[in-house]
Amino acid sequence: MCGICGYLDYTLSVDAAKVVDDMTAAIAHRGPNGSGTFHQGNLAIGHRRLSIIDLEGGAQPMADESGNIYLTYNGEIYNYQELRKTLESDGYRFRTQSDTEVLLRAYQKWGKNCVEKLEGMFAFAVADYSKQEIFLARDPFGIKPLLYYWDGNRFAFASEFQAIKHIPEWKGEIDLGAMDTYLRFQYITAPKTIYRKTFKLPAGSMMTVRMRDPFRKIETYWKPDFAQKKKRSQADLVDELDACLRDSVKRHLVSDVPFGAFLSGGVDSSLMVAYMADILDEPVRTFSIGFEEDEANELQFARTVAEKYKTQHYEELVHFDALEVLPELVQHFGEPFGDQSAIPTWRVCKLAQKHVPMVISGDGGDELLAGYSSYGRWLKYVERNQPRIRQSGLKKSLAPIIRKFRPNHYPVVADPGRDHRAWNEPLLRFDHPNREILWQEPHRFVADLPDEAFADAFLNSQGEGSLNRAQNCDIQTFMQDDILTKVDIASMRFGLESRPPILDKRVFNLIARIPESMLHNGKIGRDYVGKKPLKDLLARKMGREFAYRQKQGFTLPLDTWLKHDSEKSSIIGEVLNASSAKVANYFDPQAIRSVTTNASSVNKWLLLVLEYWLQTEHSPMSAPAA
């Protein structure tokens, strides 16, 4: 787990080595155990290292014997030992025991197709001087980040915005369309960022950049595929899932340093701890964050798991004064990020880093196994809006005639399960009317701009079921750009590696074959209960009552903090309505006052985060990116 960066100057007017030195220093927190840079011609690359595997031999950038190929890499390859054996049988020789060298040799043998062989989390760049190209890739789920800057004369890449901002051409031009996306969803969807000319390489993508002339090409090498289904009994499914998850956890525990686990007390993290306790010879170190407010506190459930599996358990309470960390948090995220759970995630990472350099997390269970309540609402919408005349047999042939005489009784209805706007609407933070009112008059047009990420995820979904389509959308948007971004930034701020065994290609391939009807309890709307195979599995270990209790979620008790304490609530109003408030450069002051007095706690929070981000930015306004 590390930080990477690089800078390519086509004009040959800038000292690339000096730029990368500055970029590497800016992400020192991601790799406290070492740093390295390499410079040749118009290209320089850098690396910050957090040592997890082969503590002495995995230094980067790493070169092959010819000196033509240089690698800078962030992540872990869990099947590196298997790949090493394959490569050794083909005559490749190794100088180290690191997965870094396995990745380097894999690129030597398979070129860009090496990404199809990898199982793990990664973002890497290969400077291939024999081809005069830079090859970059990001893991299938987007566990590790990869940003890049492109203006036609220069190309730069990095793990975080803090490094990108050190390139000489940096102007920090804000994309108002991306800011509107933030108001909608509390995060910004890939490939966009809050800045023009700066992008996120999407999950499961690879990029080729030429060294001599301005050219870049982005290709998708992996996307979720739910098309193939396999029928089996519920008991057989749970048995198969049990074996698959246990194997994944075991492979994720390969390390040369001590490790622990995040334990919220929920289904996913509890299962991870159960497997770790079964696999390891020593007690698992577990870390939990809680609140005094009952509606957000799951510490009692975390303690139950810790007691059952005899872990070394550590926990902390988060209070309102935790918001004091918001300016630092905003700086590290680099762009507006409004998920409230970033605060407790930040705190649990800080707690864990005091004891271990690596942890296991339960991220991915809700997306891969349809655990969110939003899926129940979605299924209810789809059922309500199904066409009354089924498109088959005699009814299909008679439908046009019937509709001619009774158009209202038999309307022409498109497949509601393909309507991404209907999926989006309940997820919006600021809906369209409130965003339109919020923006100052010259900028209101941005509220009408489409968000292509959601539309693309629906249109390109591999599988016809409406539930799988919604899951596919979550995996490519919310999970990638919110959940995984949050954990990466918070953990790496403290030099802590976080590994999610559920987000493993072998686990996904098993889950993707589960028929939709087996993912939930057969009900829709408010009675929907998702993630059924995982809950049935946990019920075997912790009992049905524990596994099937109501989901609470890992977030701040912000409603309680603000609604029942006028002094705390007034703090947000004072910040947003101050004469020096930066949000007033973009939004109507009267609309801002309305948000601080009448809007939901979530929307107040979004504006507060945006204000703190703007205070650190001081960038000129610009139009949406072309």
Look up tokens 């001087």; give the residue. Answer: 129
Q: Which residues pair with 208 in a beta bridge?
A: 135, 217
| Nearest by Cα to 61 from 43, 28, 38 | 38
2, 5, 114, 349: the active-site residue? 2
Contact 49, 58 (CB under 8 A): yes
Q: SS3 of 499, please?
A: strand
Contact 246, 502 (CB under 8 A): no
What is the C-alpha to C-alpha distance for residues 480 and 457, in angstroms, rounded to an integer? 12
Return the amino acid letter for 280: L
DSSP characters over 333-362: H-S----TTHHHHHHHHHHHHTT-SEEE--
Q: SS3 of 112, please?
A: helix
In the chain, what is the greatest distance between 2 CA atoms, to the nearest angstrom?
Answer: 79
Q: Where are the alpha helices (DSSP H) in 229-355?
A: 234-252, 267-279, 299-308, 326-333, 342-353
CA 287 to chain centre: 21
What is the C-alpha to C-alpha distance for residues 623 and 621, in angstroms, rounded to an integer? 7
Structure tokens at 572: 């947000």
Contact 122, 138 (CB under 8 A): yes
Q: Where are the alpha helices (DSSP H) in 484-600?
A: 484-493, 505-511, 532-542, 544-547, 558-563, 566-577, 589-598
The string over 413-449, giving b where at least 16 C-beta atoms fall within 10 Å of a residue's C-beta and e elsewhere, is eeebbebbeebbeebebbeeebbbbbbeeebeebbee
Contact 79, 119 (CB under 8 A): yes
Provide the 10 A C-beta neighbour count for residue 389.
17
DSSP 479: I
CA angle 203, 271, 468 (to 5 degrees): 45
Active site residue 5: no
CA angle 542, 543, 546 (to 5 degrees): 80
> In three state form, how does the secondary structure of 429-458 look?
CCCHHHHHHHECHHHHHHHHCCCHHHHHHH
What is the C-alpha to C-alpha distance for residues 418 and 458, in angstroms, rounded to an integer? 6
Q: Roughly how many angstroms between the first and final C-alpha of the chain, as a whole number? A: 34
Q: Among all residues, which ones are annotated catalytic?
A: 2
